[in-house]
Amino acid sequence: MRLSKDFTATVRSGARTGRRNVVLYARVRSEEPQGNNRFGFIVSKAVGNAVHRNLVKRRMRALAQQFAADATGLDVVLRALPGSADIEWDELGQQVRSGLDSVVRKAGAKHEKGS
């Protein structure tokens, strides 16, 4: 995702789940549900300096690529919390994977309820 309106729509109207170092938002795109998943990343200055923020973004992008083929038609936003720069790769991966499973399930239920 690149457009501000896509981030805003996902964060405001999507399903939300939080883990210790990351918060995930997801929504089913109504305009093209068969399309590929789109991911957006929010890493604020509270996470650390530019080196730490970029490290966290690269890690989250790699984790999102692993998930990209599992479902289709989703917009997903991953928001890094300040502790995400200090944890190991495996721990961040576990938090993101469990969060993705949860938020995708919630987004699907929310979409079904709205239909």
Q: What is the mean pLDDT of residues 79-103?
A: 94
What the block records as the tokens of 42 is 């929010």
- The tally of domains found in the chain comes to 1
Range of the domain at 102: 4-114
Would the pLDDT of 87 be above 80? yes
- With contact defined as beta carbons under 8 Å apart, do 61 and 28 qualify? no
The confidence score (pLDDT) of residue 3 equals 92
CATH (domain of 13): 3.30.230.10
The confidence score (pLDDT) of residue 14 equals 93
Q: What is the pLDDT of residues 1-60, one digit of tens each?
A: 889 999 999 999 999 999 999 999 999 987 665 678 899 999 999 999 999 999 999 999
